[in-house]
Amino acid sequence: MREHRPIRGDVAPARLGPDVLAKGFADIHPPLERHEALVESDRCYFCYDAPCMQACPTSIDIPLFIREIQSGNPIGAAKTILESNILGGMCARVCPTETLCEEVCVREVAEGKPVKIGLLQRFATDRLIERGEHPFERAAATGKTIAVVGAGPAGLSCAHRLAMLGHDVTLFDARPKAGGLNEYGIAAYKATNGFAQAEVDFVLAIGGITLQTGRALGRDLHLETLRADYDAVFLGLGLAGVNALGAEGEASGGSHDAVAWIAELRQTLDLSQLPVGRRVVVVGGGMTAVDAAVQAKALGAEEVTLVYRRGREAMNASRYEQEIAQTRGVHIRCNLQPRRILADGGHVSGVELERTRSVDGRLELTGETVTIEADQVFKAIGQTFLGEGLALGEGLASEGQGIAMERGRIRVDAERRTSLSGVWAGGDCIADGSDLTVVAVEDGKLAAMSIHEALGVAPGLLARAADAVAGWVR
């Protein structure tokens, strides 16, 4: 352990040396070597009407791509994957395959050991991306223009599919880099070596996409203007708001939004300079909570406790993610709800929590309290949709033309059309959105095909566009 420079409440940078830090943030799933991939692909039964394919939100033909790996054709396998999921490389790293394709694998059901679908997918896609070649070619230009607002998974997926169909796309994002959740919200040990930006570059290589960063809806962009200037608009806005604990002392120094902290960590060039407490408490039960807890431990926190108000079975983080946290030294304590953040001199000194219990599915407080000492507290109890920039001018609003909302997010139909003509949406910002990259990718793809149909491309161009979607540059 290196000497550190205390800041407040024993929050300090440089708790660990560079070698230890590098080990803590190394790739959590080292990629398969060629021989390993061949052996693993040989375990697949290549099922007819494969349950793994049905469980994949983007409907990747999993048996086909695994067979292509088995036959020594990983590039062909990657093309099969990317035809359904253009962000297949990132999804191979971050998808909860243990609760999707691998959970229903026949090998899992029969033997308790599924085919390693996620690692095989990464094996194939990495090889294609490393070659620096784009597997698709654009259809003939249609002359249509589309604005895609939000360069996260949904926006990137939509933009790529539209560009491949021959349309010209302008992709806007409020942040300095494209990628959205993949760039700013994924734990650093899940996407190493700048992979998120490498994948963005790969997506843009199709051509026909102009990226403009630092452009926020409601500040630099306005929905009415976009609708007037473009033939269609897609909104992939994500969730920019963060739920508050509503606990006394929440504004104390050392109390952080876990999402913002992870984004800062992801953009930090020198992890040894990122301050971390000696005793850290993370509040929440989802993937963000686990990511924050594991990374705090990897930065050198001596004690990291993740607290959740319900039982272990109710946590949104999968059992596998929970196991990662525990094997890396994170203590998980359930049935505890924060009452107040304790502070000493304006800085966090602990968290007072009340024990809970479940009665007929309802959460009840017991009155019994527990105090956990802490120098830092990270809040990860969910994100909210802010909807900035969705309001229209008085003329349109008075005519009832606006974006309809449902459960605090954008309401869309099965083709991801909003209630406002010419505007589609997808990803976490829609009412049925799920905090999964793979689901956002599918939203973008569905919206792109709906936009393409709505634009009424001439029959000849439509036929050539369909050929481009179905074919490869071999």
pLDDT per position as a tens digit, 457-467? 754 444 444 45
* Residue 423: inside a domain: yes
Q: Does 152 share its domain with 206?
A: yes
CATH number at residue 83: 1.10.1060.10
Q: Does 110 share its domain with 152?
A: no
Q: Does 406 share its domain with 423?
A: yes
The first and second tokens of residue 113, run together, are: 């050991």
* Residue 392: inside a domain: yes
pLDDT digits (tens, 9 = 90+) for 349-380: 999 999 999 999 899 999 999 999 999 999 99
Inter-CA distances, 11 with 254, 276, 299, 348, 375, Å: 8, 5, 11, 10, 6
Strand, coil or helix: 70: helix
Tell me the mean pLDDT in the region 149-170.
98
Q: Does 175 share its domain with 224?
A: yes
Q: DSSP alpha helices (H): ranges in 244-382? A: 258-267, 287-298, 319-327
Q: Does 360 share its domain with 461?
A: no
Domain boundary pick from 106, 130, 154: 130
Q: Is the pLDDT of residue 259 over 70?
A: yes
Contacts of 139 (CB under 8 A, 6+ apart): 164, 165, 166, 461, 464, 465, 467, 468
pLDDT digits (tens, 9 = 90+) for 296-335: 999 999 999 999 999 999 999 999 999 999 999 999 999 9
Tell me if 328 sits within 8 A of 296, measured CB to CB.
no
Inter-CA distances, 265 with 38, 114, 301, Å: 36, 33, 15
Q: Does 218 share its domain with 312?
A: no
Which of 7-11, 138-142, 248-252, 360-364 is predicted least confidently?
7-11
pLDDT digits (tens, 9 = 90+) for 392-427: 654 444 445 679 999 999 999 999 999 999 999 999
39: domain range?
A: 34-130
pLDDT at residue 462, rounded to an integer:
44
The DSSP result for 97-156, as a single string, is GGGTTTTT-HHHHHHS----HHHHHHHHHHHHHHTT--S--PPPP---EEEEE--SHHHH
pLDDT at residue 298, rounded to an integer:
97
Q: Does 95 share its domain with 119?
A: yes
* Residue 221: inside a domain: yes
* Residue 138: inside a domain: no
CATH number at residue 153: 3.50.50.60
Q: Average pLDDT of the chain?
A: 92
Domain boundary pick from 338, 363, 382: 382
pLDDT at residue 387, rounded to an integer:
87
* Residue 6: inside a domain: no
Helical (H) or strand (E) element with 441? helix 437-454
* Residue 11: inside a domain: no
Residue 262, amino acid:
I
Q: Which residue has the tokens 């002392």?
A: 249
Q: DSSP alpha helices (H): ranges in 138-257? A: 153-164, 181-184, 195-204, 223-229
* Residue 456: inside a domain: yes
Q: Does 156 share its domain with 201?
A: yes
Q: Does 357 share its domain with 378?
A: yes
* Residue 442: inside a domain: yes
Domain boundary pick from 382, 411, 444: 382
Q: Does 191 share its domain with 278?
A: no
Q: Which phi and psi angles does 30 have, rounded to 5°?
A: -55, 135
pLDDT digits (tens, 9 = 90+) for 107-130: 998 999 999 999 999 999 999 999
Q: Does 247 share its domain with 228?
A: no
Q: Does 200 share its domain with 183?
A: yes
**Number of domains observed in the structure of the chain:** 3
